[in-house]
Structure 1
Amino acid sequence: MNGGGKYDAVIVGGGHNGLVAAAYLTRAGCSVLVLERRGEIGGAAVSFRAFDGVDVRLSRYSYLVSLLPRKIAADLGLNVELRRRRMSSYTPSGDTGLLVDTGDDARTAAAFRAVTGSTKDFDAWREFYAQAGRVAAATFDTLTEPLPSREDLKARIGDDEVWATLFERPIAETLTGRFDDDTVRGVVLTDALIGTFAGAGDEDLRQNRCLLYHLIGNGTGDWDVPVGGMGAVTGALADAARRAGATLVTGAEVRSVSPDGEVRYTLDGTERVAVGSHVLANVAPATLARLLGEAVPGPRPEGAQLKVNMVLSRLPCLRDAAVDPRDAFGGTFHVNETYSQLETAYAEAAAGRIPTLPPCEIYCHSLTDPSILGPAERAAGVQTLTLFGLHMPARLFEADNERARAEALRATIASLDSVLAEPIESCLLRDAAGNPCVEAKTPLDLEAELGLPRGHIFHRDLSWPFAEDPADAGKWGVETSHERVLLCGAGAVRGGGVSGIPGHNAAMAVLARRRGEVRAG
């Protein structure tokens, strides 16, 4: 067995959080080894030419950035441009649609009138998102600080009614109480369901936690397009880690982790061992438990999405002739995501059936950032579409993933076609072999390719951004039962999304321990 050496930190997993941790620790003078199973660094935040003969770099797994703190980008000197989208969303409704234009309130109000018959829901919409903005402003900076207690965060927000709305009552109560229109209710609800299999009224409030993280990014809740694709983000993080002196190794499959910091892995067919004063696990808690030889903690994770990547020769025509497709697809394009449609799809999936009319949402990266297109593709007017299908839990695919993937894709394409003026198939570009440029990933595909347990994009259900156990207040939310082993991935408290926050917090926990500032564990 070959030795891998001794390090201040061995990081298991070279996704964006592991790279953030590596960069912070090496900049502080620590020796760091990052071990990545796949042949490339980046985890789920990578760009990829998915179709033969088509020069388009798709953000294959994760798409947009909201939660990456400007603090992390500044601290690490990241050369990454995040480009704001003017259009927030478009939701087809019959032969019209709800266009939310962040640069034109009058246009948005007119769209609300066209869909709902009045501006009552528009007024309620503005009030709701103004309240969410105040929560975001009070909450976001705490994500890169030691965990506040529940009472401390509530006091910081300083509004008992808003606290109850987001933190205590199922979001169903707020949506049905504030908004009259089914479409408007659904647009808000979708952000509570991305990566989360839940009903709007579930008492465990998983949907509320998901909604909260979608609303608070950088104090605004804006979801921005990374110029160059998601691979540009992790590429910049890898460069920062390497410049500071971290060792990044790809093709290294970790076989086991011991509580005393020993990490066994294989590289080029040879088993090796590295020892870290700390081991930072940029993997799901369930994966870490397996590596430690322990029982998997908590409920079994379950992803609940169908991810579809497409390259188009042109954008499809809309049934709503008053809206330019470039505006409709320039933000988030909602497909059959009214409140009632979402609840129906959830009930069908919970009963073990692929939804009859799958709800999904789409965005077009290339409209905001054409740099991901090759010169010929850009000149030809090629566009990308990335689709996220909701209420597609792993359980639907476990009996026969291939068959269920094909069925789910057919149903999802039919759902999309139902709100367009023409079939999406007529707009698909063809690859070098003449095949349509469309690929679908189920939760089980994401598990096989990225190690996400049952395809759960957050590694497990999201946590509240405070210490749920009062004894954890003042910790970093990355601690495990083993002093030398820390979480630094999406399964940490305040994890989920492309944020770098767990990586930052794990690095801060290590550095604080080295300075003797906090107790371990």
Structure 2
Amino acid sequence: MPAASHHASHETSHDSAAHDAVIVGGGHNGLVAAAYLARAGQRVLVLERLDRTGGAAVSEQTFAGVDARLSRYSYLVSLLPQRIIDDLGVRFAVRKRGVSSYTPAVRDGRATGLFVGDGTARTRESFARLTGGEREFEAWERFYGMTQRVAQRVFPTLTEPLPTRAELKARIGEDAAWEALFERPLGETIEERFADDLVRGVVLTDGLIGTFSHAHDASLLQNRCFLYHVVGGGTGDWDVPVGGMGALTDALADAARAAGAEIRTGHTVHRVETDGATADVHYRTADGEGTAAARRVLVNASPQALSQMLGEDTGPGNVSGNGGRPGPVSGSQLKVNMLLRRLPRLKDASVDAREAFAGTFHVAEGYEQLAEAHRQAEAGELPRVPPSELYCHSLTDPTILGAELAAGGYQTLTLFGLLTPAGCFEAADSSGRAALRQKALDRTLAELDRHLAEPVADCLALDADGRPCIEAKTPLDLEGELRLPGGHIFHGDLSFPWTDEDGGRRWGVETAHPNVLLCGAGSVRGGGVSGIGGHNAAMAVLEADDRHGAGPAR
């Protein structure tokens, strides 16, 4: 069922029958929680502000009159545990990318690049051609062998009660790996292990996805972000969702409904009142207002949004969900969606564009380039050489294209820009923000074009009105469209996946109110399209009911 077909129903009165759980927000985490609780026999109501479910994990026909359904906001899958798919009986598949990454470069005046994928021999050869020897490749193999061992031990814990720091360290069981990833700034590890600037930069990028940080950040924010980007599935692989990201959330919505959950779209929750045992959830629709009563409320929105619903002080010191860092929450990305008539040719003739764009295509992500971009953005300026990475969904999964587009050789292209925090786009009015967005886009595409044999603009398809098929979204755009605080794709800076030594947060979803839980990206271990926040909130509810002998409301 297409996401856009989930139309709103209207309530304007008090919903007197108590629900076991009201879930605020019909994004993927809310749907996961709804499906688990409904399958356990609980009476579940999901209230979603938009006229469709899915949140940021949707597929949409982005360009007017063009039969292509793009994963508009989030686009790759790594952290989603197979056990959630299996537990809920969800029909959803991903496809592996045969290429991990390609990073174009200019060495001694010639176009070249680093190609990772298509077997060890080809990767080794690419490293040797770029760096002139075996050292960097061998260091790469050792480093990512270490991260994979960590992934195999950490990933299973993400759907278990939170371990303590000491318990997680013992589970990993490698002091050198623990020190490299959990104790010291990632930059120190990178500089000790790698010598080539480009190789160093490619490694560091996983610590900067949607995160404003740098190699030597003493808070270890870059380490936390890096960890979440290398542990997925126990392998660190990032896979392509077949049918686009909306295929996942549509399937989750179907699973929740099949289990008995009720989903109402077009319902904006604006207040939650709780005494710790029961709660009233107040919402607005196009026709008026209503209230739903529940034993528990699970909030698939940011910690900041929850505080506002509860009428609490939302100052930065009073809201958890920013990794313990002071100051306002800010995203740090430029998201660009494109539809091309064909992929552009590359200056590096040693690699075909269909291979280069099938994996992650790194642009301006050398180690020193990343450091300079951070320095400029920290000063409130748009980076002059913006780092970014791209990939082509339709090369791996052409089902998101209509038959005519696919037959004509059209391709999607997704670009994710780094180190562009919300502050870089603040202006007095909307026209000023639009000008800054265009400036960032122009600079980003100019850097991409440096490695192409033809400008990417020459390859863009046109929509039904004759306009180029390209859109760009800043953190401020994401804040306005999806209510992400500061446009932060993780609802706040990521945390290490452990609890305090006293075990105060057993599942990482708890709040100051015993019957109000976070179930979204703002929970501990909740970042990315994973369903982990929804799973863990549901487990916390069911565990508490078992402990107290409480059953579903009837």
TM-score by length of 1: 0.98
Q: 2:528 aligns with which of 493, 497, 502?
A: 497
Q: Residues of 1 paired with 2:86 and 2:134: CA distance? A: 41
What is the one-letter code of the residue matched to 1:510? Answer: V
Matched, 1:345 2:373: yes
What is the one-letter code of the residue matched to 2:292? Answer: A
Residues 15-37 of structure 1, C-alpha deviation per residue, up to 9 Å, x if partnerless?
00000000000000000000110
Q: 1:13 aligns with which of 22, 25, 32?
A: 25
Tell me the residue number matched to 1:163.
178
Matched, 1:126 2:141: yes
Matched, 1:478 2:496: no
C-alpha displacement at 1:11, in angstroms?
A: 0.4
Q: Residues of 1 paired with 2:274 and 2:233: CA distance? A: 35
What is the one-letter code of the residue matched to 2:217? Answer: D
Tell me the residue number matched to 2:418.
390
Matched, 1:413 2:428: no
C-alpha displacement at 1:517, in angstroms?
A: 6.4
Residue pairs, 1:349-368, within 5 angstroms: 349-368=377-396
SS of alignment partner, residue 191 of structure 1: helix
Give the 3 Å change call, closer, same or farther, for CA 277–327 of structure 1 in structure 2.
same
Matched, 1:188 2:203: yes
SS of alignment partner, residue 258 of structure 1: strand
Tell me the residue number matched to 1:35.
47
Tell me the residue number matched to 2:248.
233
Residue pairs, 1:247-326, within 5 angstroms: 247-260=262-275, 261-296=279-314, 297-298=319-320, 299=326, 300-326=328-354
C-alpha displacement at 1:436, in angstroms?
A: 0.6
Q: Residues of 1 paired with 2:342 and 2:460: CA distance? A: 8
Give the 3 Å change call, closer, same or farther, for CA 179–55 of structure 1 in structure 2.
same
Q: Residues of 2 paired with 1:176 and 1:384: CA distance? A: 35
Matched, 1:142 2:173: no
Q: 1:442 aligns with which of 467, 471, 474?
A: 474
Tell me the residue number matched to 2:73.
61
Residues 58-87 of structure 1, C-alpha deviation per residue, up to 9 Å, x if partnerless?
000000000000110110011111100010
Tell me the residue number matched to 2:102.
90
Q: Which runs of 5+ in 2 are unaligned?
A: 1-11, 321-325
Give the 3 Å change call, closer, same or farther, for CA 518–308 of structure 1 in structure 2.
farther
C-alpha displacement at 1:268, in angstroms?
A: 2.4
Give the 3 Å change call, closer, same or farther, for CA 91–517 of structure 1 in structure 2.
farther
C-alpha displacement at 1:406, in angstroms?
A: 1.1
C-alpha displacement at 1:446, in angstroms?
A: 0.3
Contact 2:348 2:451 (8 Å CA) reproduced: no
Q: Residues of 2 paired with 1:332 and 1:518: CA distance? A: 50
Q: Residues of 1 paired with 2:293 and 2:447: CA distance? A: 51
Residues 303-346 of structure 1, C-alpha deviation per residue, up to 9 Å, x if partnerless?
01000000000000001111011110010000110111111101
Q: Identity, % of aligned pairs?
A: 60
Q: Residues of 2 paired with 1:471 and 1:445: CA distance? A: 40
Residues 129-159 of structure 1, C-alpha deviation per residue, up to 9 Å, x if partnerless?
1000110111111100101010011000001
SS of alignment partner, residue 413 of structure 1: helix
What is the one-letter code of the residue matched to 2:348? Answer: D
C-alpha displacement at 1:258, in angstroms?
A: 1.5
C-alpha displacement at 1:474, in angstroms?
A: 6.8
Matched, 1:466 2:482: no
Contact 2:28 2:57 (8 Å CA) reproduced: yes
C-alpha displacement at 1:413, in angstroms?
A: 1.0
Q: Which runs of 5+ in 1 are unaligned?
A: none
Q: Residues of 2 paired with 1:196 and 1:223: CA distance? A: 18
C-alpha displacement at 1:267, in angstroms?
A: 1.6
Residue pairs, 1:187-226, within 5 angstroms: 187-226=202-241
Matched, 1:378 2:409: no
C-alpha displacement at 1:518, in angstroms?
A: 11
C-alpha displacement at 1:472, in angstroms?
A: 2.6
Contact 2:281 2:291 (8 Å CA) reproduced: yes
Residues 429-454 of structure 1, C-alpha deviation per residue, up to 9 Å, x if partnerless?
01111111000001011011111001
Q: Residues of 2 paired with 1:12 and 1:397: CA distance? A: 30
Contact 1:146 1:473 (8 Å CA) reproduced: no
C-alpha displacement at 1:259, in angstroms?
A: 2.4
Give the 3 Å change call, closer, same or farther, for CA 484–473 of structure 1 in structure 2.
closer
Contact 1:45 1:230 (8 Å CA) reproduced: yes
SS of alignment partner, residue 306 of structure 1: strand
C-alpha displacement at 1:269, in angstroms?
A: 2.6
Matched, 1:243 2:254: no
Residues 95-141 of structure 1, C-alpha deviation per residue, up to 9 Å, x if partnerless?
0110101x411110111011111121110001011000110111111
Matched, 1:332 2:350: no
Q: Residues of 2 paired with 1:338 and 1:256: CA distance? A: 47
Q: 2:485 aligns with which of 444, 453, 463?
A: 453
Contact 1:330 1:367 (8 Å CA) reproduced: yes
Structure 1 segments (4+ residues) deviating >6 Å: none
Question: Which is worse superposed, 497-506 or 289-298?
Answer: 289-298
C-alpha displacement at 1:175, in angstroms?
A: 0.8
C-alpha displacement at 1:421, in angstroms?
A: 1.5
Tell me the residue number matched to 2:5.
none
Question: Which is worse superposed, 470-479 or 105-114?
Answer: 470-479
Tell me the residue number matched to 2:3.
none
Give the 3 Å change call, closer, same or farther, for CA 129–432 of structure 1 in structure 2.
same
Give the 3 Å change call, closer, same or farther, for CA 473–118 of structure 1 in structure 2.
farther
CA RMSD of aligned residues (A): 1.2
Residues 447-505 of structure 1, C-alpha deviation per residue, up to 9 Å, x if partnerless?
111110010000011011111x2223671110000011000000001110000001000
Question: Which is worse superposed, 290-299 or 178-187?
Answer: 290-299
Q: Residues of 1 paired with 2:248 and 2:191: CA distance? A: 38
Give the 3 Å change call, closer, same or farther, for CA 40–286 of structure 1 in structure 2.
same
